[in-house]
Structure 1
Amino acid sequence: MFLSEPMCYDWGESSVGAVSVVEGEVGWLSCPLFSHPSVYNYTSTQSAGHNLFWYRLPEGHDLEQPITYSKDRERLFLQPAIADDTGQYICMLRNKSSCSKIAIRLKVLQPDDVVKCGLPVAVAPIEDLIPLQEGKTLDCPDLQDATKMSESTPKVQWYFAAHLVSFHDREQKGNSLQVHLMMEQYQGLYYCRVQYQRRNQTLNFTRSINVTAILPLSLPKEPSIMNPTNDQIFTVKTGTEVRLVCRGQLPFVLDKPSREIWWTVDGKTLDKLPDRFKQINRCEQSHHFRDLTIESILVIQDFQSQDMKREFYCSVKNERGFDTRRAQLEEEVSLPTVELGCGLGVTLLLMLILFVVYHVFWLELLLLYRSWFGTDERHTDDKEFDVYISYARNSEEEQFVLLTLRRVLENELGYSVCIFDRDSLPGEPKHTSSIHPFIRPSFITPLSLKGWVRELRRARVALALVRWQGTSPESCQSKEVALMRLHSQNSTNSQTGLISNTIKDPQKVLNSAA
């Protein structure tokens, strides 16, 4: 056999890959030797005396078999293909002095293994682009091959998503499909089924076209940088890894889809810089209608202070234009965390100390405040008197009340004192009812025989008794002065406590009087 002759150069199996065909449809194999016309050309090889032969190596066999299928120049046709046609095929060019051969694999697929949501197609779809609001004519792929094999004019039927196309803006004209006005919902797979007659047999094959809408060609197609913006500033910190993010929008340009995004540092591309400068195109997102939004990250490891003086530029480019933008940097100011922590701790400690001091010594603090900044509250607290003094009618006590106690309470402590002989109207009786208008009824009320025990207890709460010891031998007898706390509805209990606690220290009063 010719296959075993040593003079035949074996190219092995074609790198194009296996050819697939659906069982029951027409399929064909093209000899891969003619895929490089500069090496092998069918016309020139025929004129040089080379003949083309086909052999088949079925699945599970070791012996090649000559093929008598229909042949047309460099193609071998299967009309139609059956499951047993699966296997390896060898095409050979041979003359008297030389020979070359190459193998190609064929797969015959069942229709149920191919169909997903449309018609069974074993051949990969052809990509086609149609601008929105524009029109285009679609021709069925490989129709010319059917014309060569057909004994009559082939007929084509068009389908969209497994349904016959029958819309007013998409209609079949002859064997072509005319899209009058492209819209977004018209995107998807279009199928064309070709039927023809050969030797009284109806044959067919199916092809597909994946149609994608793009933006109208009249719109601007220049690229632009979305991030960083003109006023955006990247905050960086020396000694750390810094990442500068650039996002560019690159519109799709028909027939020239080349699009790029890159970083430069001081006008140099990253391949001319140290390894600590790296570029990562982390995200490439499909925008709408084939426009792209690409994100590129410049990673700077161990950012140094001298890098602040460098110029970092991000650039984008397509066939319509170019755009570039500089990344502005600002060094991060490190906050003194230790100092801030210590200051906060000291502040909290001082607040805690002040809180404790206030709760323990609040009375002393309040007295100190009144002695320094005390004001006359008689016009604001809605009271006429703060203190009513009840005393015995003798010269010593009366002199103490009128001269010493009154002066301390009124002049030094700022209280309004009610002294009966001085502040009562002439002719008023000297009993409890005479002071009733000045006292809140909930503290002092007229006594009655029926409830005298309860009333005396309430009077005891309302009265503060002051005892002191005279300093001279003549005044060694204990003296008492009763201070009655006077209240209005708006008065506070703090002033009552201040009076009682102040007068309970007789030595303080005497010292003040001295």
Structure 2
Amino acid sequence: MTFLWCIVSLYFYGILQSDASERCDDWGLDTMRQIQVFEDEPARIKCPLFEHFLKFNYSTAHSAGLTLIWYWTRQDRDLEEPINFRLPENRISKEKDVLWFRPTLLNDTGNYTCMLRNTTYCSKVAFPLEVVQKTRITCPNVDGYFPSSVKPTITWYMGCYKIQNFNNVIPEGMNLSFLIAFISNNGNYTCVVTYPENGRTFHLTRTLTVKVVGSPKNAVPPVIHSPNDHVVYEKEPGEELLIPCTVYFSFLMDSRNEVWWTIDGKKPDDIPIDVTINERYHGACNPSTLGGRDGRITRSGDRDRPG
């Protein structure tokens, strides 16, 4: 009987211990701590548990026998999975409460979770990490002039000014990277490639034109500025009526911007218009682009001829 009681006691102890380990203080997704890092650069991310949610630091937690575990959820996925710390060259590693990327890749974007736990305690928080692709241009039409064993010198210019110590434009060999593109970055960029051959020095000069436009992520459907929905256009019979259709489009690469009119739901070419006194037509200005479409209805007609 005593032996049976010991087994039952151990069984209940195991249940209590299991329940304690399965419960976890989940602080959810900390969207206030959205982290953005540039692609192909080293990045170090600290677990926010010790900065904002817990009253003790990592050293204290480690001394108490708690273990910090990292998970992540890939972009556009729902499944949380452990982080692979066995990648070639230890590209992703952990050091105490810091997650290291050496370097980052675009597909590292996702929600990251750090969990602190042992058999009786658990606390975790998630945060979004976005790896941002640098906007870059490449010095064009230089292939085949020198072998791959030759390391040329590349100098970049904006207009007549050599690019060095610019805040957001960084020369990276054949590439010129824009960390954040501004309208002020519009202009002509020249790369000068200098390479040796048979004891002589040669220069290749190439010029590109850069125009900064809006990101497709921020594109919105077309917006009609005129005509106005609340305006009724009235003209005497025989008078000309000109109704402008003014539309504002977001920039979208390779997008056709289209604007057309319909009258009572039909294209103007499909209906004969024989205007009579007091006859009204409902016309619609219809813009369309890859970002969406809009429509604006206007009313027009003739006033009664004075008695």
What TM-score does the superposition give when structure 2 sets the normalisation length? 0.51
Question: Amino acid of the residue matched to residue 169 of structure 1?
Answer: N
Question: Amino acid of the residue matched to residue 196 of structure 1?
Answer: Y
* Contact 2:193/2:205, CA 8 A, preserved across alignment: yes
1:154 to 152, 155, 175: 152
- CA deviation after TM superposition for structure 1 residue 181, in Å: 1.5
The reply on whether 1:331 has 2:288 as its aligned counterpart is: no
- CA deviation after TM superposition for structure 1 residue 246, in Å: 1.3
Query: 1:80-229 alignment to 2 at 5 Å?
Result: 135-147=134-146, 152-166=150-164, 167-229=166-228
- CA deviation after TM superposition for structure 1 residue 193, in Å: 1.1
* Contact 1:151/1:197, CA 8 A, preserved across alignment: no
Secondary structure at the aligned position of 2:145 is classed as helix
- CA deviation after TM superposition for structure 1 residue 323, in Å: 0.8
* Contact 1:191/1:209, CA 8 A, preserved across alignment: yes
- CA deviation after TM superposition for structure 1 residue 220, in Å: 4.0
Deviations 1:50-108 (A, max 9, x none): xxxxxxxxxxxxxxxxxxxxxxxxxxxxxxxxxxxxxxxxxxxxxxxxxxxxxxxxxxx
The 1:210–1:308 alpha-carbon spacing in structure 2 relative to 1, beyond 3 Å, is farther
Q: Take 2:285 and 2:278, find their aligned partners in 1: how far apart are those partners?
A: 16
Question: Amino acid of the residue matched to residue 162 of structure 1?
Answer: C
The reply on whether 1:245 has 2:244 as its aligned counterpart is: yes
The 1:199–1:306 alpha-carbon spacing in structure 2 relative to 1, beyond 3 Å, is farther
The 1:270–1:196 alpha-carbon spacing in structure 2 relative to 1, beyond 3 Å, is farther
Match of 1:104 in 2: none
- CA deviation after TM superposition for structure 1 residue 307, in Å: 8.7
Match of 2:291 in 1: 320
* Contact 2:219/2:251, CA 8 A, preserved across alignment: no
Query: 1:9-24 alignment to 2 at 5 Å?
Result: none
Deviations 1:445-482 (A, max 9, x none): xxxxxxxxxxxxxxxxxxxxxxxxxxxxxxxxxxxxxx
Q: Take 2:182 and 2:210, find their aligned partners in 1: how far apart are those partners?
A: 11
Identity over aligned pairs, percent:
22
Q: Take 1:154 and 1:322, find their aligned partners in 2: how far apart are those partners?
A: 49
What TM-score does the superposition give when structure 1 sets the normalisation length? 0.31
Question: Amino acid of the residue matched to residue 233 of structure 1?
Answer: V
- CA deviation after TM superposition for structure 1 residue 194, in Å: 1.6
Match of 2:281 in 1: 310
* Contact 1:151/1:198, CA 8 A, preserved across alignment: no
Q: Which has the larger radius of gyration?
A: 1
Q: If each structure's strand is expressed as a fraction of its own residues, which one has the higher value? A: 2
* Contact 2:233/2:300, CA 8 A, preserved across alignment: yes
Question: Amino acid of the residue matched to residue 158 of structure 1?
Answer: W
Secondary structure at the aligned position of 2:221 is classed as coil
Secondary structure at the aligned position of 1:329 is classed as strand
For structure 2, the 5+ residue unaligned runs are: 1-131
Secondary structure at the aligned position of 1:244 is classed as coil
Q: Take 2:195 and 2:277, find their aligned partners in 1: how far apart are those partners?
A: 75
* Contact 1:138/1:176, CA 8 A, preserved across alignment: yes
* Contact 2:257/2:289, CA 8 A, preserved across alignment: yes
- CA deviation after TM superposition for structure 1 residue 213, in Å: 1.5
Q: If each structure's helix is expressed as a fraction of its own residues, which one has the higher value? A: 1
* Contact 2:250/2:291, CA 8 A, preserved across alignment: no
Equivalent pairs counted in the alignment come to 175
Deviations 1:117-174 (A, max 9, x none): xxxxxxxxxxxxxxxx9841221011323345x7722321100011100113212122
- CA deviation after TM superposition for structure 1 residue 196, in Å: 2.1
Query: 1:436-475 alignment to 2 at 5 Å?
Result: none
Q: Take 1:333 and 1:271, find their aligned partners in 2: how far apart are those partners?
A: 27
* Contact 2:257/2:288, CA 8 A, preserved across alignment: yes
Question: Amino acid of the residue matched to residue 228 of structure 2?
Answer: T
